[in-house]
Every structure is written in C-alpha cells, then in structure tokens.
Structure 1
C-alpha cells in the first residue's frame, strides 16, 4: 500500500465528540487503504489510554501534548506577528521536526490535513498531493462568537475571524483540493473564495446506525416515571454551553410550568462551572460524562438542539435521529442536514417557538411518525461508507497490497 501523512489537531479517538467522530472514521477508512503516518496533539491527558488503539491503525505516529493554558499564552504571539491566534496555538517544533522527517524519508503520495490549523506543517510540501479537510469554516465561527461578546473580546474574535479567513483562502489556493462537512458549508466557502471554487467539495458526516439503533436494549437511566428532555454534547464546548444555559433559563421553565415533573437532562463530558450551575434550577440535571449516551436517548421523550452558534453538521442531531428520537432543533443546529422540517425533525426559531412546539409534541410522542422518518433519513443519506467514498476520489489511489 502507498503511504499517507495524516495530521489532526486532536487525537482522533475516542469518537465521542464532533471533530473526533469525523477524524476517527477518516483514519479507520484510510488505514484500510494506506500506510498512515499520523501526527496529532493530545489536549486531554485522559486520552493517553487510547494510544495503542490509534497506533493499531497507523504505520507511524507522533503524539504531542498540548496544554490548553500554555497554548493560549503561546497564541498571543499572533497579536505581534499579524497571524491568526489559531496558528501559534497549534504550532509545535517537535511536531514540525517529525513532519519534516516523514516528508524527507517516506515515499508519500498523499497528505491529508484535518482542520486548517494543521496546514502550516506542510506549507513546503507542494510536490505531494495535498487534501485539506476544513470540516467547517472556522473563521465564520469566530465571527459568530464576536457577536456574543463585548469589547475587548469582541475585537479579538473579529480580528481572528478576518485573519483566519485570509489564511483559509491561502490554504485552499495552495492545496490540491479542500473538503467540508456539508454542501451548505462548501457552497458558502466557494462564495468566499470564488477563484478557487473548483477545488472545493464536501462529504457528509456519517452515523453508525447499528450502534445508534432503537432496537438495542438498555436499562432505563432515569428515575421511574420521569418524563425527560435531553441535550447531548461535549459540555466544555462554547456553543453547547451557550445552548444549554439559554434553554435552561429562557425556555425550559415555561415548558415545565405546563408539564409539571418534566426533567431536562444535560448529558456530556467536562461540564464547565456555568453548566454545573444549571443543576440548581428546578428539573435540570447535569450528568457529566456517562459510559454510554444511548440509554439516555432511548428513554428520553424528546431531544433538543437549541444551538445559537453553529457551523457544519451537528452529529448530536444525526445520532438522535438514528435512535428515532424527535429532535427539536434551532435553524443553526440543522444547517447542513438534509432533512424535511416537520416530517423528519422539528425546527424552532426562538424561545417562544421552542416552548410551543415542545408542549405540543409532549402530548403526542408515543404516536408520532417523525422519529421513524428521522431514522430513515439517516439510513438513506448519512452512512460513513457512502460519505467516505468522496475522499478516495481526491487521494491518489493506492496500489493493491
């Protein structure tokens, strides 16, 4: 098999959050076709227990520790160099030395970069086929963040958005091709970089529909007789934090007033102080990390995705749909998902809309067809085998081993 360099900004395992789900399935797919040289960061020391699992999928690996506090301090150098802060945050001399050695000593035919910050390591490798998986338009996320903050952070985030977009434009012009997580995301980027539009494509995230299946049996994790709304997501991620804080304080109390005893469960690892504080609200439970989210999804009445800041495809929405849950999502949360509102999921535009729709659905959950249609949509459009065929088209095909 041919050899391929794969650089990822965070160890691609375990597949328990959006970026890791995509980067892991990419690695698993690549490992069946290439000898993979993987370079990546570890920003959570708990992930070190997965090193052997990741190594088993690779020919060669380089894992570099990234301490978030130190990285944030390092990123400040961008204020003096004119760089987006993202680049020094993810710059490491050890990883660069390892990449240089791989480029010099291995017969590489392909380079796949996951997340724009990692493109800096192969800027001098134009003689090799380079594919950039941007996943999302990160520069647009920073602009959304800026809109939620006051000065001076609003200025910092607007600066990051502007400089990172300039960098994303340079990368797509320099690389051979670029991918995004949805057709919507790819179309937006083509408009931002029209002179490189022909290089831009997309492949959807997938869902393991056998794993996320309503046919599996689980013990009920909720107290007996509990009627529950659920949000699932990494609870140290800003967009998720904003979503559950807003929903818990601005939406859920009105729903609970109409449905006494209704509970809202926030299920996800690493809850911040702002998220933990929500446990003091009537009916709100913050679980922290759980061994398996599927029992919580199985026995919940409805799943909610009230994101106000989002880009790309939300895996949490697709996974709930695969479990035949009715998902009530904001327009931001369903952007990029090919599903019919009102038939395969429910879209709510504001607090009042969430309140009205959830109250109505709670009266009809056992007999509602939306959940069945949601899983059918996932089966039709969101399998990994179907999605990852696109990456094979962009990479120089390996010879038979």
Structure 2
C-alpha cells in the first residue's frame, strides 16, 4: 500500500518563487512520487488560491486556511511586533497560530504514515498532527533563534532589542519543541549542530537545500552584476542597503559602465535606499531568474545575517554565474565557485577580479555548475531523504 503523507505549508510551495518555496516543493515532489500528498496551506488576505499553482497529481486532499488581513504599513507592523514582544511570541509563530480547530476538523477520522511541518513557525501544531500520524517531521528552513540574533546586529536600538527578544523566545520554543519530533531536517551540517546543541537528544538530519536541475541558459554576458531575493526579507534588505552604501560606490568609481541589478519580489522595500544610486536597476519579480543570472558577470550575496543556506547561490551556480559572497552568505555550502569577502574593500575587490577576468569567471562557473549537478539538484536531495529513511 502506498505511503500516505500529510504536509503543512505556512508558505505555499508553488509558484517556485523564493528559497522557502523551492525547499518545500522539493519535499512535496519527493513524497508525491509514491502517492499524492494531503496538504494544509495558508493564504494571505487577497491572495490567489495557492492550490491552483500546484502541478496536477501532487496533492490529493487539501485544507486552505485564510489568514486574517493585516496592514503591512510601518506603523501597523511596529504596533503588532510591540504587542508580540510584550507577549513573548515570535512574529511568524503568532501569524500562523490559532488554527487548531480547522486543522482538527480536516484531520478527523484520517491517518497518515508521515506528517511533515514546514518551517519552525508551525511547530506548535505537532501534538495535533501526532494524533493522526505515525511520525511527525519538522523541516527547519532556518534555525530561527540564530536568524533573529544575527538580524539584531544589523540594526540599532530599539529594533535590535526586539530582535534579541524574539531570538530568546525562539530559542526557548526550539528547546521545548525540537526533541518532541520524530525527525528534524536541517539545511546544513552547521544548522544541524546548532539544533542538536539547543535540544540535546533530538534526532536531526541534514537535508540540503536543492533546486530543480535545468540546463544553463545560453546567453552572452552583459556588463552587470546581480543580487536576487525577496527584499522584504530583512537579511536581504539589510544586505542591499549595506552593498549600496559601502560597496557599490567603490565598484562604480572604477567601472562606471557596470550595472547593478536587484532582481526579486518587493523591490519597494529597498528602492528608497538604492534606487537613486547610479547604474542600479530594480527588476521586481520575474517568471524565471536564471536567464538574468546567466548573463551577469557575477552574482553578489552580501548577507551579514540569516540562517540556513542560500538558494540564491544554488540558482547562480545552476545558471553559470560566479558568486561573490560574505562568509555568512555562503555558510553551509562548499566554497568552490565562490569568492568570499567580508569587508567593503575586499568585497569590491573580489567583484572587480571577476569583472576584469573572463578566464576566472568561466573557470568558476564551470566548477560551480559541476558542484551543483553533483550535490544540489532535487534528485540528489531525494537520495539523501531515502538514506535518512523517509
């Protein structure tokens, strides 16, 4: 009899926009190879039905939970987070809480071999799903306490104090929850070690971030470098601001014809900080990032906070774009195909090396594509899941 799986997605796995969706979709596709998966999904107010974007044959039965509307304005968000800090509830844990009754009605009378909860934010639903599944798995996209702690270093007071408060609360929830899962999946060996240290005795296995295998687009290089991501996500936003203020002026001074492309969702989050800089282009979201990556001289990953591993680097490798990254940006990934730099001068110098050397660019691109194909495709990730016993 085919194994039956239930998956809970706070973020929709499709369309394949962003690292979270790509990781979740890879797991969904793995389980659906054996039998269609049952799914619980959430929808933001005014958004389209996320089930319409899921390819046919992957999901059998589903529950869609509509989240209450809330303003994304700065003032409204600050008030919400002030209340969350007072109550000691991390923002996304709070956002996806309170849906026990809907989930219980959906699960009534049903039984699954495996239930998978995507993201730490929904870990509190474990006891409910454990009543209906032989085992419950938590897929940690990040170690959330580390993410908040690192974000606190990017901001001054009082924002830094909020981040530290949420980091402590995430650490407490991680300590309480991780050991109760039958299995926890982490995106890297570093994250797995952190999770085990937080919750000794937890069964934590590494399931690396992966993306679908595709042939690199055939295109000529342009005089551009690229940074891709969702710019509403605080580590990406802070990285864009830091690069724009501290690094781009150094590069532009020596290469005035070079363009810096920012590709991804929510460009308005950084437009005020970088939109007025010379030779900067904000594309907004695009259906397919790989062609823009493939025609770039380098992909830059100037992250100074974050957790997990960066799918933006895997996409650059897949497209044949050499990468310049900070140490935090490349954390958890092999260093082949990446030049690493952590100061503005060193980062600018690494970009200039790639801009000025076609031989270095192509050598790094070939090594990175080989590394990607051998380790970071969905199929390679599925082999890991099989060895883990899923």
The corresponding residue for 1:99 is 103
1:11 matched residue in structure 2: 12
2:335 match: secondary structure: coil
Instruction: Normalising by structure 1, report the TM-score.
Output: 0.87
Check whether the contact 2:115–2:137 (CA below 8 A) recurs between aligned residues. yes
- Per the TM alignment, residue 107 of structure 1 is displaced from its structure 2 partner at its CA by 2.1
1:399 maps to what in 2?
none
Stretch of structure 1 that moved more, 287-296 or 6-15: 287-296
TM-score of the two chains, using structure 2 as the length reference = 0.89
Change in CA separation of 1:101 and 1:50 when aligned onto 2, cut-off 3 Å: closer
RMSD: 2.5
2:365 maps to 1:365: no
Q: 1:347 aligns with which of 316, 329, 340?
A: 340
Gaps of 5+ in 1: 397-401
Contact 2:224–2:258 at 8 Å: present in 1 too?
yes
- SS, match of residue 61 in structure 1: strand
Does the 8 A contact of 1:115 with 1:132 survive in 2? yes
Deviation at 1:44, TM superposition (A): 7.1
Instruction: Spell out the pairing of 1:2-401 with structure 2 (5 A cutoff).
Output: 2-43=3-44, 45-48=46-49, 51=52, 53=54, 56-66=57-67, 67-69=69-71, 78-79=84-85, 81-93=87-99, 96-126=100-130, 128-193=134-199, 195-197=200-202, 199-210=203-214, 213-214=215-216, 216-217=217-218, 227-275=223-271, 277-340=273-336, 344-366=337-359, 368=361, 369-392=363-386
Question: Deviations for 1:122-154, whole angstroms, at most 9, x for unmatched residues?
Answer: 324445311111121011111112222333332
How many residue pairs align between the two structures?
381
- Greater alpha carbon shift after TM alignment, 327-336 vs 315-324: 315-324
Partners of 2:232 and 2:266 within 8 A in 1 = yes
Structure 1 residue 155 displacement after superposition: 2.2
SS in 1 for 2:49: helix
The Cα of 1:102 is off from its aligned counterpart by 3.9
Q: Deviations over 1:9-36 (max 9, x none)?
A: 1111111101011011111211122442
Q: Displacement of 1:383 after TM fit?
A: 1.9
- Quote the Cα distance in structure 1 between the aligned partners of 2:30 and 2:235: 29
Residue deviations 1:308-359 (CA, integer Å, cap 9, x gap): 112111011111112221111111110000233xxx2111121010111222
Describe the shift of the 1:332–1:304 C-alpha distance in structure 2 as closer, same or farther (beyond 3 A).
Answer: same
Distance 1:332 1:299, change over 3 A: same
After superposition, what is the alpha-carbon deviation per residue over 1:266-285, rounded to whole angstroms, capped at 9, x for unaligned? 11122124335522211111
Partners of 1:185 and 1:355 in 2: CA distance: 29
Q: Return closer, same or farther for 1:47/1:116 CA change in 2, 3 Å cut-off.
A: same
Is residue 75–residue 88 contact of structure 1 (8 Å, CA) maintained in 2? no
Secondary structure at the aligned position of 1:105 is classed as coil
Change (3 A) 1:33 1:163: same
Give 1:395 shift.
6.0
Q: Residue deviations 1:160-185, cap 9 Å, x none?
A: 11111111122112111111111121
Contact 1:207 1:378 in 2 (8 A): no
Separation in 1 of the partners of 2:36 and 2:271? 42
Query: For each residue in 1:198-229, what CA deviation from the matched residue of structure 2 results, as whole angstroms up to 9, or x when unmatched?
Result: x011111113232xx33x346x7x9xxx5111
Distance 1:357 1:87, change over 3 A: closer
How far is the alpha carbon of 1:100 from its aligned partner? 1.2
Q: 1:52 to 1:97 in 2, by over 3 A?
A: farther
